[in-house]
A and B are shown apart, each in its own frame.
Chain A
């Protein structure tokens, strides 16, 4: 099954929704404080989250989230806030669940038949797994950008115009032209494509395609942008341009980014969350995570030690 071109534009049935609600667990009360070692760090045996997983005025919240793929549990009781106008980086070794939790944030996991989510995820206070939620609208509100740039096989203009059109965001050609221009400008691509909007989006370079995908996400007016390793297929220059763009976009959106590059996490994010085998191990200000993490597992991972 190929990845859908853009989450907000596809309709998925939330067939597993009822099952999810039934399995919802009681929110955990205040967790006992973890006793640190003599050097002030929490030992590897401990799997409770340390650090600042909760913040004031969160844009999105996850509470006691568990995710299962059939019988296998991929996420264990994760509680985490996503702040407004901040970039949160999710890091961890392969299979740690960072992409899984990211995809829960706009219900991309609904597309996986065996996937089951329990717990509560809210945006602006509203549970995104509740029955009243329109998944299509949710995915416009919480957009996603994937690892590999995936523009539609259409013109640059149409790549951007498609979303606003099906969401009924525009009334006429002038408004559409404006939304296309604004979105491409915000994605920092305007100067490079303004004279060839009718050319196919697939004809752009990889970095340009990725910015086109970001523009396409922006066009439907999201609040949150999820990024799943958005630079892993790009060269260092294109990566730097995207990272600079992420920094600009932070003024207007909340951004959650999954990355395998710790250097990238440290460059673009203000908060970092470290996942390990489905557990959220540590959350904190990025500068602290990379200079003085509190959990030994975090330290092992970011320093490149056997885990």
Chain B
């Protein structure tokens, strides 16, 4: 599973779910509308600069805070190719994987990738290439089960398939 070249938007440490998707918009249920408020709590102008296929690079504990799935939905539907961080909060991590949004732990990424850099990512191999510096960074490899969810396009298609098989 490879993700093509895209532009990086860098955010800091401890970016919480209220900054990724403010609580006052949680009643919105339409994914396209949810995407309008992506990372609004970090920088209200950021959404305007994001293009489909871009990457978000973060420091420690990205996604801490609430269990709202909107945090993963907003990134996914804003077209984010992957979130690469020093570390992730647990519930956000599960939500993202379940929706088919690659979230990759890459030690050192916060230092070695800067705003506006172009990167590409090999999720299965755990390799990140920074095309601006020419550097290749090693990411943590995902477990087999997580890879299975991601390559099925999220847990929904996987679960649907399993339910059908069970009912056969």
User: Do A and B actually bind?
Assistant: no
Measured CB to CB, the residues of A under 8 A from B are none
